[in-house]
């Protein structure tokens, strides 16, 4: 039986959220912490960018500062995501965990199954798609939700959950955005699309390619309701099988360790003072 720590977090600023994800990933990499599933929210709008994404040409930092939208660097790759009114999941695990294939594609697939199962508890029929690409456009797809990668979650062909993964020597970290609402106009301005034809075209593209939870089933889902559903989804997919009770995950609620708290504090201070 594999024990996985479960952290049900609240609403925090973007610097804290990324600092904690990095601290947990570091501890799991060093074997100091077990596999960890963390679910959390954002207390204010935050734009996160992939660790290799450049901000000089893609992000309107002036607009973000003026409108109090923090810009944070994710420890994973991928494109820009505007976090606002959403649930975010984060999963860190050793590579030698037998429940996850030892490759990025296989890990995406297994986690995708858990995410899809979680959505089913909300009455949503989702698909974990094979990869496809949007034809080249003038936008060069700076937004995560303008494209769908392998095993990301879609509903009726529209991307619902955007995920990113980073693999280290001994472990991996995957986290993703589950939007309750979409803020396409605000995202367009964050990405430098001023009011006008280009902005409208970009927003139209996002609306065609992505969707939010509260646009489905004619109802509004609460933050706690969504977290409950995704915890059940992970527990269901990774539950022990009757034939082999040793193969499965037992989720155990547990806080951050002292090592993780100290590292997260150090990372937070570094992030919040960085230009």
Domain ranges of the chain: 2-272
The per-residue pLDDT for 131 is 40
CATH for the stretch 2-272: 3.30.930.10
List the chain pLDDT tens, one digit each, 275 residues.
789 999 999 999 999 999 999 999 999 999 999 999 999 999 999 999 988 776 656 789 999 999 999 999 999 988 899 999 999 999 999 999 999 999 999 999 999 999 999 999 999 998 765 443 333 333 445 555 444 456 789 998 899 999 999 999 999 999 999 999 999 999 999 999 887 778 899 999 999 999 999 999 888 999 999 999 999 999 999 987 665 656 788 999 999 999 999 999 999 999 999 87
The per-residue pLDDT for 56 is 58
Query: Cα–Cα–Cα angle for 18, 165, 29, nearest 5°?
Result: 70
Question: CA 237, CA 249: separation in Å to the nearest integer?
Answer: 9
Residue among 4, 64, 144, 190 flagged as catalytic: 144
Where do the H-state alpha helices sit in 87-239?
104-120, 184-190, 197-209, 223-237
Predicted TM-score (pTM) of the model is 0.89
CA dist 151 → 79, 176, 178, 199 (Å): 17, 12, 15, 29
Is there a contact between 206 and 134 (Cβ–Cβ < 8 Å)?
Answer: no
Strands (E), the chain: 2-12, 35-42, 46-49, 70-73, 81-83, 86-94, 127-128, 153-155, 158-167, 171-179, 249-253
The pair phi, psi for residue 235, each rounded to 5°, is -65, -40
Lookup: tokens for 2: 């594999």
Is there a contact between 71 and 268 (Cβ–Cβ < 8 Å)?
Answer: no
Question: CA 74, CA 52: separation in Å to the nearest integer?
Answer: 9
Catalytic-residue membership of 64: no
If you count them, how many residues does the chain have?
A: 275
The per-residue pLDDT for 130 is 44
The per-residue pLDDT for 172 is 97
The per-residue pLDDT for 54 is 67
In DSSP terms, which residues pair with 48 in a beta bridge?
72, 81
In the block, tokens 């450049």 appear at 54
The per-residue pLDDT for 197 is 76
């Amino acid at each position: 039986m594999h024990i996985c720590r479960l952290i049900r977090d609240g609403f925090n600023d973007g610097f804290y959220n990324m600092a904690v994800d990095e601290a947990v990933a570091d501890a799991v990499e060093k074997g100091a912490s077990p596999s960890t599933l963390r679910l959390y929210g954002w207390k204010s709008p935050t734009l996160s960018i992939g660790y290799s994404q450049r901000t000089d040409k893609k992000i309107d930092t002036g607009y973000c500062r003026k409108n109090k939208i923090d810009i944070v660097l994710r420890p994973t790759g991928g494109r820009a995501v505007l976090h606002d009114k959403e649930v975010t999941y984060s999963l860190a695990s050793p590579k030698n965990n037998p429940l996850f294939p030892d490759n990025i594609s296989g890990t995406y697939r297994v986690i995708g199954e858990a995410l899809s199962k979680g959505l089913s508890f909300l009455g949503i029929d989702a698909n974990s798609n094979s990869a496809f690409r949007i034809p080249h456009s003038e936008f060069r797809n700076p937004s995560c939700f303008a494209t769908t990668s392998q095993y990301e979650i879609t509903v009726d062909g529209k991307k619902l959950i955007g995920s990113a993964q980073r693999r280290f020597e001994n472990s991996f970290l995957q986290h993703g955005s589950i939007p309750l609402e979409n803020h396409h106009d605000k995202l367009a301005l964050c990405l430098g699309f001023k009011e006008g034809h280009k902005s409208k075209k970009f927003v139209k593209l996002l609306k065609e390619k992505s969707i939010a939870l509260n646009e489905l089933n004619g109802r509004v889902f609460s933050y706690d309701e969504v977290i409950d559903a995704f915890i059940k989804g992970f527990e269901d997919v990774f539950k022990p099988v009757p034939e082999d009770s040793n193969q499965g995950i037992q989720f155990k609620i547990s806080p951050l360790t002292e090592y993780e708290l100290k590292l997260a504090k150090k990372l937070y201070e570094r992030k919040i003072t960085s230009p």
